[in-house]
A and B are shown apart, each in its own frame.
Chain A
């Protein structure tokens, strides 16, 4: 399988210090990867560099064969992005919002894709609602529909289920799993919910202090840290303790 995302040697320093320090990140077609780490580990900065929104001080990013920043526009045609913290523009109805993004992605039938996307996540009834009328969970769902309606090669979700109840979160996980299965869409997700990560991701990449400290299947990573699950690994890293040894990724 080919690489959908290939980031090499990403470095980003802000005034307070290095937020990201030499991160390599590869996501292959159809792969479901979680980018994890405590607050301040460099997850969002890494994501934003991979999306071409923040320019790295060093390193390269390639998406679906397009090198950033020059090929950003062409690369983004293959990427979907949603974040639990991003609101919907207030003065748009859901269908107008989805049509707008469908057109930005160059879809020939944005309305049809919007309907199919809403149905996939069981929220077709929200098509006529205004952004202001939606709950935070519904907004998150609409954001996910927006990010998937163009059948991207890579779907990047930043804290997608942070504001969802367990039932809706399950619907999201199921919808995303179907999408990955049917379309071969690769998934790169960040989350603080380790239980959910274990359900959704087949590989996890742990960041700490801007560096990759583990890369591999969830159970394998937990075992390498001598922990039972990812939650325990997370708490271990958040406590600022060093791993018993530097854990290399399972991938070459």
Chain B
């Protein structure tokens, strides 16, 4: 028992080392799974073409001076901003699912890695995917429809930041559901976005929805963030009240999602659900 022990980094640095280890692991996964690039290349282009062409078609029906012209910009700015939510959510959800698919969860759980550090590591690498995905939409909108989203100015940044947090909050809920219900809940990672998209005010204000859906849309923070984005499209000043509402709502949603995740994690440990992945 005279051998020297392996040297460790100081406790404060160890946390960042763990987060970066997770981020790097997911970089390898993306590099060696080209099909995963679909989420950040093909689907963004498909979405841009779909909503851009819809906008162009309706604009042509309405004539050159009609309000329908603004619709093209609403749709294209909407899809660019939507991909902030989508990419943030999908990157974190599928990053976590990768650990279940590769049956790596048990190995991770018996290291010093904390649950939030795992999510943080996946989210950090998810930012790279987000930049790729949103970059592709932005370039496609510019190349195919001459729509320059950067012309909306720096006001777009706080809107995108709120939507980024919103995407992460949804991902935390999806992870919680996977912990509770197993891989059967995976479909929610994509399915939940099809619910949020029409109700979350991505392309139109609350008033455009059927009356029964309006109360739901009203409480979704994304509704107010996208409304702020449309105000920028109209050339108006940043509607700080709307953005504040979106930020406050997102904060509440994130805290609720963290609480839900902690609850599901407790249940996961109590019921021994790890055996699903080992």
Question: B-contacting residues of A (Cβ < 8 Å)?
Answer: 12, 14, 30, 44-45, 48, 51-55, 69, 73-74, 76-77, 79, 81, 83, 85-87, 89-92, 96, 99-101, 103-109, 113, 146, 149-151, 156, 181-184
Encode B103-136 as 1/0 by CB contact (under 8 A) with A: 1101111111110000000000000000000000
Closest Cβ of chain A to B34, distance in Å, is 11
Of the candidates A76, A81, A92, A104, the one whose C-beta lies within 8 Å of that of B28 is: A92
Residue B258 CB within 8 A of the other chain: no
- A-B contacts at CB below 8 angstroms, number: 118
Are A54 and B274 in contact (CB-based, < 8 A)? Answer: yes
**9 more A-B contacts (CB under 8 A) besides A14-B271, A73-B114?**
A44-B275, A48-B274, A52-B269, A53-B110, A74-B112, A83-B278, A91-B29, A99-B21, A183-B5
B contact residues around A86 at 8 Å (CB):
103, 106-107, 278
Are B1 and A182 in contact (CB-based, < 8 A)? Answer: yes
Query: How many residues on chain B are close to A (CB under 8 Å)?
Result: 42
Known: A48-B272, A79-B110. Is A108-B21 also a contact (CB below 8 A)? Answer: no
A contact residues around B67 at 8 Å (CB):
none
Are B20 and A77 in contact (CB-based, < 8 A)? Answer: no
Are B102 and A89 in contact (CB-based, < 8 A)? Answer: yes
Are B111 and A183 in contact (CB-based, < 8 A)? Answer: no
Are A104 and B21 in contact (CB-based, < 8 A)? Answer: yes
B contact residues around A87 at 8 Å (CB):
102-103
**Stretch of B6-14, B68-76, B89-97, B181-189 contacting A (4+ beta carbons < 8 Å):** B6-14
Are A91 and B269 in contact (CB-based, < 8 A)? Answer: no
Most chain-B Cβ atoms within 10 A of its Cβ — which of A100, A149, A183?
A: A100
Known: A53-B109, A76-B112, A108-B9. Is A103-B274 also a contact (CB below 8 A)? Answer: no
Closest Cβ of chain A to B278, distance in Å, is 6
Bound CA–CA A51/B28 (angstroms): 28
Bound CA–CA A105/B107 (angstroms): 12
Known: A51-B110, A53-B110, A182-B1. Is A103-B269 also a contact (CB below 8 A)? Answer: no
Bound CA–CA A228/B270 (angstroms): 40
A contact residues around B28 at 8 Å (CB):
91-92, 96
Question: A-contacting residues of B (Cβ < 8 Å)?
Answer: 1-3, 5-9, 11, 13-14, 17-18, 20-22, 24-25, 28-29, 32-33, 102-104, 106-114, 266, 269-272, 274-275, 278
Closest Cβ of chain A to B21, distance in Å, is 4
Are B113 and A104 in contact (CB-based, < 8 A)? Answer: yes
21 contacts between A and B (CB under 8 A): A14-B272, A51-B109, A52-B110, A53-B109, A53-B269, A55-B269, A77-B8, A77-B112, A100-B21, A100-B25, A103-B18, A103-B21, A106-B11, A106-B17, A106-B18, A108-B8, A109-B7, A150-B8, A151-B3, A156-B110, A182-B3
Bound CA–CA A169/B278 (angstroms): 22
B contact residues around A79 at 8 Å (CB):
110
B contact residues around A107 at 8 Å (CB):
6-9
Q: Which residue of B lies closest to A103 (CB)?
A: B21
Closest Cβ of chain A to B162, distance in Å, is 31
